[in-house]
Amino acid sequence: MNVMHKLIGLAAFVASTWVVAGETAGPNGEKPTPYTQVTLKPDQTKALQSKKYKAAILMHTTSDFSSALIKGAKEVFAEQGISVVAVTDAEMDSKKQRTDLETVLALKPDVIISLVIDPVSGAAAFRQASDKGVKLVFISNAPQGFKAGKDYAGIVTDDLYGMGKSAAELMAASIGGKGDVALLYHAANYYVTNQRDAAVKTELAKFPNIKIIANKGIANPNDGEVIAGAILTQNPSVKAIYAPWDAIAEGVTAAARAAGRKDVKVVTMDLGAATALDMVKGGNVAGIVTDLPYDMGKTLARMGALALLNQPTPPFVTVDAIKVTPANLATQWQKALSRTPPDAIQKALANRK
């Protein structure tokens, strides 16, 4: 799972407000706006370039996801003449994030991009920024009680339903559209994984010759191998298993190998080097669905720039999901993270040719 989504569920929006109905829904049922609709006109760029605005990016952790997002945001800010005065890493600690925010506010930024680790305790922290007139754009969630258009410009997140739909399609394709499958789902009240997992189940139901014979919850990613091993023992007819994110998928593939089941296909979310390498080498991993953090960063910066011009911004924006297979891995890795795959993956890809 992208670290963006790890451990943030303890105080996230109540999952029931994020209804799975064929598309990703906002915290208050907002319809999603595609990220491609968030744009800046030449005259707006010209106006921004003359203002010498300052921006800060408050990240929750360091990861490939964070690096790609920061890169995209910095590129857009540079185009608009907005200087980035701080980039922080809260190390998945909400208290440190508050300290980071207070330190950054001393630099008097005009706009802040952030992923709020704890929406409850984060409300008081980010209220300090909104009270100072700082424009806020959030990744995936917002502080509890904050209102779009008043307290912050908007939220930018993944097309969560789209990710689930793509995973279901990859699963179906991997087994020729028929057979028994098993699903693991994230056993926590967190809207990101809840929507993705529910979408997989909903979309698989559209394949009449596919039967879900096991649906098991998983709270600790380290339990993936044990749970998958039990599924394979109890349900030897299983042809494919869905894992909620890459760390869990690593355990599922380990279980399949231990059971001598090279035939079992594994589909998961989020780019991870280990799962990607297994896929390229012809292992159990049949497909991966990823988001586009580089494009997300660019969209967040554009949202912030529009807010600085007091232009209306959509309250809830989604960034596309893309399917990753051995055939397109190099291209999709670059598209998602704006960099080439690790050397080991490139070598494995070269050996496939």
Give Cα 311 distance to the centre of its chain. 27
**Res 317 pLDDT > 80:** yes
- Report the pLDDT value the prediction gives residue 21, as an integer from 0 to 100: 59
- Report the pLDDT value the prediction gives residue 99, as an integer from 0 to 100: 97
**Res 62 pLDDT > 90:** no
CB atoms within 10 A of CB 22: 12
pLDDT digits (tens, 9 = 90+) for 93-124: 999 999 999 999 999 999 999 999 888 999 99
Q: Domains in the chain, ordered, with CATH?
A: 3-159+293-319 (3.40.50.2300), 160-290+323-352 (3.40.50.2300)
Query: When comparing pLDDT for 12 and 279, which is higher?
Result: 279
DSSP assignment string, 35-47 = GGG----HHHHHH
- Report the pLDDT value the prediction gives residue 2, as an integer from 0 to 100: 56
Please check whether residue 213 is in contact with residue 195, taking contact to mean a CB–CB distance below 8 angstroms. Answer: no
CB-count burial class (<10 Å; 0-12, 13-18, 19+) for 100? buried
* Tokens describing residue 6: 């790890």
pLDDT digits (tens, 9 = 90+) for 223-264: 999 999 999 999 999 999 999 999 999 999 999 999 999 999
Residues 137-151 have a mean pLDDT of 94
Sheet hosting strand 265-269, strand order edge to edge: 210-218, 179-186, 238-243, 265-269, 285-290, 322-324
Q: Assign 3-state DSSP to the chain and report helix, strand, coil percentages, each to 5.
A: 45, 20, 35
Strand 285-290, strand 322-324: pairing: antiparallel
**Res 13 pLDDT > 70:** no
* Tokens describing residue 270: 């989020």
What is the pLDDT confidence band of residue 1, given thresholds at 50, 70 and 90? low
- Report the pLDDT value the prediction gives residue 19, as an integer from 0 to 100: 44
Please check whether residue 294 is in contact with residue 274, taking contact to mean a CB–CB distance below 8 angstroms. Answer: no
pLDDT > 70: percent of the chain: 94
pLDDT digits (tens, 9 = 90+) for 168-199: 999 999 999 999 999 999 998 777 888 899 99
